[in-house]
Amino acid sequence: MRRSFVIAMVLAAFVACFAFWASGVAPVDAGSRPSGTPFGAIVFVNSAPNGVVRGSVGQVAIDRATSIAWQNTNGAMAWSRFIGTAQIEDASVSLAKMANVASGRFLARTTAGTGSPESLTATQVTALLDVGTSALKGVVPASGGGTTNFLRSDFTWAAAGGTDTRITTALVGTDATSTDTTALTEATGLTLSLTAGTYQYEYRILWRVSAVSSTMQYNLDFSGSTAFFVNVAIHPTDSAGTVANMGAGGSQASLISGSARRFATSAIGRQSGLSVDTPASDMLLVAHGTLEVTATGSLKFWFAPEVASTLTIKAGSSLVVTKVQ
């Protein structure tokens, strides 16, 4: 009984092999030439066909070692991998079929030239991206460190509170005095050089005079050439009569007088405010105006007492000039 079963199994295997061979499936070694196989026949080989296994167009060879299928597309010596781009339908491969990548990686390529995708780190991806500009989106450029710089709209870093180059200032560092009632004295520290352009300026002059009924004579001078030069001045005063007329709510230096002048030339002239009734009172002159410079020169402030006395320009008096055009 057992012997009959074994004989039956051997016969069945023989029949299967015969049927397999008759169907056109031919196991061969590399280098052999399958012959007599019909169109679409499958050939098993011991290595990739790379031209050594020849056959008809449409035959398929399967490498026994790697299980890679090859297809003969153009006749002898023209085997190609059976599964190529042309054999895969669009959108038919899921992302799960791709090679695994580490967390936080991007698929791109940083190596020069065309080639396979690479798993890139965030640092590598950042290096590939454009830096932003005033016209284009992009990554932020390196700040250079520190805690005070800020990012401008043109994607450059600048110090907070950066200086506006249109504005220039001057300051009296120490008290300046004059006792000469006939010649004006230049206020040291309040001189600025101006090039061609249009400027707006403002003086704030803190001053004291030692004698009653005296005041400050002053003038502005520009040593270059101007197309126009217009000044408006405001002079507070401590006139006793004014204080009395204002009643109990009055205070010294409460009356304000004003004057305006167009400087036709750069020659030094004289302007003055109202006289003081209290010696050494703290007074303030505010002078502001506009000038258009056509040739470079220096803007200067000159002063002198009106009558015999000592006039002092106090430290902290200032000049602010803004170039507007």
Task: Answer yes or no: do 182 and 64 share one domain.
Answer: no
Task: Answer yes or no: do 249 and 218 share one domain.
Answer: yes
- What was the pLDDT predicted at 300? 92
Task: Answer yes or no: do 216 and 315 share one domain.
Answer: yes
**Domain end residue (candidates: 159, 191, 210):** 159
Residue 39 counted as domain residue? yes
Task: Answer yes or no: do 150 and 195 share one domain.
Answer: no
Residue 107 counted as domain residue? no
Q: Looking at the predicted structure, is the pLDDT value of residue 268 above 80?
A: no
Tell the burial category of 162 from Cβ atoms under 10 Å away from its Cβ (0-12, 13-18, 19+).
exposed
Please give the Cα distance from 318 to 206 (Å, whole number). Answer: 9
- What was the pLDDT predicted at 43? 55
Q: How many domains does the chain have?
A: 3
- What was the pLDDT predicted at 196? 94
Top pLDDT among 43 and 250 is at 43
Percent of the chain at pLDDT above 70? 62
Q: Looking at the predicted structure, is the pLDDT value of residue 275 above 80?
A: no
pTM of the entire predicted model? 0.49
Task: Answer yes or no: do 276 and 300 share one domain.
Answer: yes
Task: Answer yes or no: do 8 and 51 share one domain.
Answer: yes
Most confident of 9-18, 85-94, 198-207: 198-207
**Domain end residue (candidates: 87, 109, 134):** 87
Residues contacting 18, CB < 8 A, separation 6+: none
Task: Answer yes or no: do 79 and 143 share one domain.
Answer: no
Residue type, 131: V
What number is the average pLDDT over the span 302-316?
93
Domain that residue 139 falls in:
118-159
Task: Answer yes or no: do 196 and 294 share one domain.
Answer: yes
What number is the average pLDDT over the span 178-196?
92
Band (294; pLDDT cuts 50, 70, 90): very high
Phi, psi at residue 79, to the nearest 5°?
A: -75, 145
Residue type, 263: F
Task: Answer yes or no: do 204 and 62 share one domain.
Answer: no
- What was the pLDDT predicted at 27? 42
Task: Answer yes or no: do 47 and 20 share one domain.
Answer: yes
Band (163; pLDDT cuts 50, 70, 90): low
Task: Answer yes or no: do 183 and 141 share one domain.
Answer: no
Residue 97 counted as domain residue? no
Task: Answer yes or no: do 132 and 65 share one domain.
Answer: no
Top pLDDT among 252 and 111 is at 111
Residue 66 counted as domain residue? yes
Residue 261 counted as domain residue? yes
Tell me the average pLDDT of the chain. Answer: 75
